[in-house]
Structure 1
């Protein structure tokens, strides 16, 4: 086993006395890593754990890390530090939590996967594009279950209208050559992350690419075309052609964190430059170029609504995340805001003595 099989480049720094490794699987705070010496189970060092103030400060699948290997192969390797991420895919943690959740790191391509069945949803695709735009990775659209498309040509036209120059790959796992375009797209040595909702067929695609049923799959409910989670942990898998793929759990919700909404809706941003007022809300103002485009039929009102909702969500979550990280720092340093205020008061009193 060699790291050049896992996408290593000469740009990865190495500290004397440590070994370079890549994280290929995570389960809570336990990691599976590969090095030039083989595969090991690992955990982060106490120093790294103490420095972390949020889940995103821990390694994730795809990370390049520097480790201290054990003397005995049955012992745990210790992750002492991890290298700067070239790309990272984040989402807001599920529910009411305001922190970010790491999905994958150091991927070359994010494969945004959506099904062409009854669960086909352009607004969801726009959400995924917004998150991918800020990841640092390139994005491609993978449309699965072409055999269940209600109107394939029309659906393709709708997708291409919103994704612009983003590559679009159509897949049909029921046909012998239904995955040829995807297989030819994936190149040796590059890392790809499949991202999409439960039931869109990510695990099925990976099994076909592997030529085996390594990844478990589950049926989709006929009533609403929704699926259940099949993949419950993240893992990086080497395909027979030498490309690397990260299978991620299906997402019932994808909250925006550090997303690039404006890049995804660049058509609206360009139209807005021609509005009469710089602070136009694109609602009822006179001289609104965005509303004029809607009236002319060149922009859908649904797309504008999607843009406004995602932008508001992004701004809200960014503020909450910033406050959460600041509170975590305060708790780490002082034990809480009350203790911080007491410390500051004591410092001021000492200055005036």
Structure 2
């Protein structure tokens, strides 16, 4: 693995600081990302995280207009439309979200890139676990876990428990809390043209939802066979009004139907509003109650699609979904979840520049 001499690392940090000091954070971020690419230097990766957390940049590379929906998909009621990676475009994405609320893209990401992100999740969760279990701060040279002082507070729903949190080697972790994971994921987005796709979809620059950019390693659960499922929600519940959002849910291991790992359960229909939650037998205030889910599923049965590692699922803030825990699952499921906003539709939520 190529290394950078300490004096060169220091030069690059000073160069980035100089650019940022002149008000050109966009160039500073670009400089750190490209100079570190493939070199894995913790100091540069941490500096990148700090700059990203200072908020979006004003850079824009081209004139943008919102892409109109296509007219190429045949969507049957109760089905999630699927396309091969070669057919993905902003127009098809618009059409699928508008008609069915979801789109599955098969084979979007290469095996080597999926493996790299899966390794990032393992390292990041292990590093956070070591810090949590030993009640110590991360080491200054730890590239995998770094809760930056630039982070804008905690998610409201978890802030009261944050000081009591004992992390394990599985679960969820914000990508931005892992400098090396952040660098790897941004390189991943660049390789697959996510910035251009999302700009065309939104018709304006896209930004990353800071608190909803997440590494996930989910353990299977023992559940009853007739269980409708808990944790049903729409992410729009937590985002506020006026948001324009899209999620890229990327399974990094085979999961869902006909596999040994839990996938994701969906109500396969277009919804255009936030449903009532905290009622209809809901056990937690933010859940859409199982009784309401049963009523909706009577018209459109819930599905738990089969995913191969490297597939992708897109949906917006109105999708009704939960983790796909069903009987018989025995393996862990890796995933990268990335919520994006159009720049004018962030709802005041914390965002990161998509570079």
- State TM-score, norm by structure 2: 0.24
Q: Which has the larger radius of gyration?
A: 1
TM-score scaled by length of structure 1: 0.24
Q: Which has the higher strand share?
A: 1
